[in-house]
Amino acid sequence: MAYKQDIKDVYSKFGLFNARWYDQARALWTNLASRKAEANFTKLLIANIKPSSEILDLGCGTGINLERILNSKKRFRSYTGVDFSDDMLKIARKKFPKIENVALIRRDITKPSAKKYDIIISTWVMSHLEEQSKIIDSYARRLNKKGILLFVFLTKPVWYIDFWFHPILRLFACEPVSEDEIQKIRFRKDINKYSLGITTLLMIRGK
Ligand SMILES: C[S@@+](CC[C@H](N)C(=O)[O-])C[C@H]1O[C@@H](n2cnc3c(N)ncnc32)[C@H](O)[C@@H]1O
């Protein structure tokens, strides 16, 4: 697994996923591999937003999920996007300047704060981390009653895709989240797979 500095480098101004081109690369990826998963993720996310909702977005990047929330025109109490890449946050802040109930914060998501949320989301981040089940469990514990956790992440596809896809992922400091890790998640979960197994949508409900 990659070191944190390698991951930051991937998303830096000089990295392969150059923060400045990220949104274009992201749109291409969505079209190729995750259109249905992302559509279902967005539908679930929007359906669960209430005026009282406090939303946490882990690894918010350039603010793609914030854009989805704002486009829905639904009212929410707060949105907090967290990311450890200054270059990605800089773009998010430029796209969404000065929105009263929106905070974009630089922090490492592997060290959760104690605060609880109604909606915790994360898209395409887990494959950069280690021991994802522990991280997912720790955030599931930070769900308010009747809250929802929705994560989209990369998993190992069928072998004839994995065979050439895996070496490419390494260039981006990524590893698919393994079935073992998914099974280790302690909370009751709903798992849906898309695009020959490349994309997984995980849902956990707060107790
Ligand atoms: C593939 S991008 C996803 C961005 C956004 N969620 C999206 O769907 O487009 C992964 C993001 O996770 C961030 N990231 C990776 N590991 C992180 C960590 N340990 N703490 C905070 N952010 C992290 C990277 O900086 C990057 O912005």
Q: pLDDT value at position 132?
A: 96
Which amino acid, residue 178? S
Higher pLDDT, 147 or 159: 147
Residue 109 Cβ contacting ligand 1 at under 6 Å: yes
pLDDT digits (tens, 9 = 90+) for 12-65: 655 566 677 889 888 988 988 889 999 999 999 999 999 999 999 999 999 999
Read off the tokens for 11. 């998303």
Return the CATH number of 4-205, one of 3.40.50.1100, 3.40.50.150, 3.20.20.220, 3.40.50.261. Answer: 3.40.50.150
pLDDT exceeds 60 at position 1: no
Q: pLDDT value at position 15?
A: 59
Pocket test for ligand 1, best of 84, 111, 127, 129 (most atoms within 8 A of CB): 84
Q: pLDDT value at position 29?
A: 87
Q: pLDDT value at position 174?
A: 83
Residue 83, φ and ψ in degrees, nearest 5: -155, 150
Atom of ligand 1 nearest to the CA of 122: 6
127 CA from centroid of ligand 1 (Å): 10
27 CA from centroid of ligand 1 (Å): 16
Domain extents for the chain? 4-205
Please classify residue 38 by burial: count the beta carbons closer than 10 Å to its beta carbon, then call 0-12 exposed, 13-18 middle and 19+ buried: buried
Residue 184 Cβ contacting ligand 1 at under 6 Å: no
pLDDT exceeds 60 at position 8: yes
Burial 105-140 (b: 16+ CB within 10 A, else e): eeeebbebeeeebbbbbbbbbbbbbeebbebbeebb
d(CA 1, CA 89) in angstroms, rounded, equals: 24
Neighbours of 159 (CB within 10 A): 8
What global pTM score does this model have?
Answer: 0.92
57 CA from centroid of ligand 1 (Å): 10
